[in-house]
Amino acid sequence: MLFRSRNVLLVGHHGSGKTTLLEAMLLASGAIQRMGAVADGTTVADHEPEEVRKGLSVSLAMAPVEWRGAKINVLDAPGDADFIGELRGSILAADAVLVVVSAVDGVEVQTEAAWDLAVEAGIPRAILVNKLDRERASFARTLDGLVAAFGTQVAPLELPIGEEANFAGVADLLHGHATTYADGASTEGPWPDDVADRAAPYREKLVEAVAAADDALIETYLATGDLPEDVVVAGVRTGFADARIAPVLCGAGAKGIGVDRVLDFIVEEFPAPTDRDHVHLVDADGVAVQRRRAADAPLTALVFKTLSDPYVGHVSMIRVFSGSITPDATLLNASTGLEERIGQLFALRGKDHVAVEGIPVGDIGAVAKLVHTTTGDTLAGKGDRVRIETLSPPEPVLAYAIAPRTKGDEI
């Protein structure tokens, strides 16, 4: 197990390219040797037969990405409105959200729905403007749409170097350098002249967002029209952690442009699981309880997704908020009051199971064949009847009861 972990929920409309972005992350980290394609049904995340047939995500998927000594648990949520329940169920397992927006299509209704859920959960949001290599892509138009939808907290940290077929890299507005990509390799250097000429209005948006997020900086900004670089850098970091600033990055997942910078930003700036406030719980009498997010605190874990595996049956995806889970432990389902025996623990990378020795505080893992536990239940130590309050499910548009005819039909 790597020392650091980050839990990231990847959201976006099904045309945003978020699943391809996840493929690019896995490729950059060495977890896979070649990128799969959504159209071919060969991606790590979209592996269910229905997903392969439709060419879109219909179920939450997970894929750990190891990068610079950190384990990034990427949760890929469906982007279609029909599967909003998957998004609601997974947002409690994440510590921050990466919203992927197409530079061609801009902000979609489902993008706004995902954003609102992240705001409700109180977790930070970052934005990736993706597909900048596509025909009709426009960073300026997309950024204007983001500001119109989400307000002045939207803060561009990067500018694209070129657009459409000429998209070749990103320019860093915080530090004044550029990263260009060619033949699978990246090169650091100064800003190209054309970027320096058009950077001023975008850096102004960034400084405005930092000032607006901190009352102490507003007077300085109004008096001088600018803020020092070190103040802007620190303001972005604290503003993002407090969910008052939404940083905007640039990229093209299909070509791997900017993907390494996205991973760097996640490792450096996304909150660690133990950085957040106490876990808010309720006991058996409905009384509010707070618990430290620490390894030496009592166990508190949430089953945020249950799926069916054709070989092992029901698989429960678990986020540990405090304490840890080890194989062969006997735990209490604090939601039902029944005990559960934990078998082998593993991490999920799409449909693949990777055995692990345990699930430490802040991490995400899975276990098969829990008897009395389902999605939304809290696992705790024996006699510890405290549970996590989950988000209420959305109102159904249509209601049906479905049951398999035979045991083989349930998968």
43-69 mean pLDDT: 86
Q: Which residue has the tokens 């449909």?
A: 351
- Evaluate if residue 397 carries a pLDDT over 80: no
Structure tokens at 285: 């009498």
pLDDT, residue 1, reads 41
User: For 319-375, how does the pLDDT look when each residue is reduced to its tens digit (9 = 90+)?
Assistant: 999 999 999 999 999 999 999 999 999 999 999 999 999 999 999 999 999 999 999
Give the pLDDT score at 15: 87
Sheet holding 330-333, edge to edge: 338-341, 330-333, 378-380, 300-309, 313-322, 364-368, 345-349, 352-355
| Residue 108: C-alpha distances to residues 6, 20, 104, 153, 222 (Å) | 27, 18, 11, 18, 34
Interacting residues of 235 by C-beta distance below 8 A, sequence separation 6+ = 210, 211, 213, 214, 217, 227, 245
Whether residue 305 has pLDDT greater than 70: yes
pLDDT at 2: 45
Grade residue 84 by pLDDT with cuts at 50, 70 and 90.
confident
d(CA 204, CA 233): 14
Per-residue pLDDT at 396:
66
Q: In what order do the strands lie in the sheet with 4-11?
A: 61-67, 70-76, 4-11, 96-102, 125-130, 246-250, 154-156
Fill in the DSSP letter of residue 344.
-
Tell me the pLDDT band of 130, cut-offs 50, 70 and 90: very high
For residue range 185-215, list pLDDT tens digits in order: 899 999 888 888 889 899 988 999 999 888 8
Give the model's pLDDT for residue 255: 96
State the Cα–Cα distance between residues 384 and 65, nearest whole angstrom: 33
CB 221 within 8 A of CB 212: no
Q: What is the pLDDT of residue 59?
A: 85
Q: Which residue has the higher pLDDT, 229 or 246?
A: 246
Residues 125, 150: Cα–Cα separation, whole Å: 11
Using the predicted structure, report yes or no on whether residue 51 has a pLDDT greater than 60. yes
For the chain, give the mean pLDDT.
Answer: 91
Residues 237-275: tens digit of each pLDDT: 999 999 999 999 999 999 999 999 999 999 999 999 988
More confident residue, 400 or 7: 7
Checking DSSP bridges between strand 345-349 and strand 364-368, what pairing results, if any?
antiparallel
Say if CB 366 and CB 60 are below 8 A apart. Answer: no
Neighbours of 69 (CB within 10 A): 9
| CB distance 102 to 17 below 8 Å | yes
Q: Is 62 exposed, middle or buried (0-12, 13-18, 19+ CB in 10 A)?
A: buried
Rounded percentage of the chain residues whose pLDDT exceeds 70: 96
pLDDT, tens digit, 9 for 90 and up, residues 90-112: 898 999 999 999 999 999 988 89
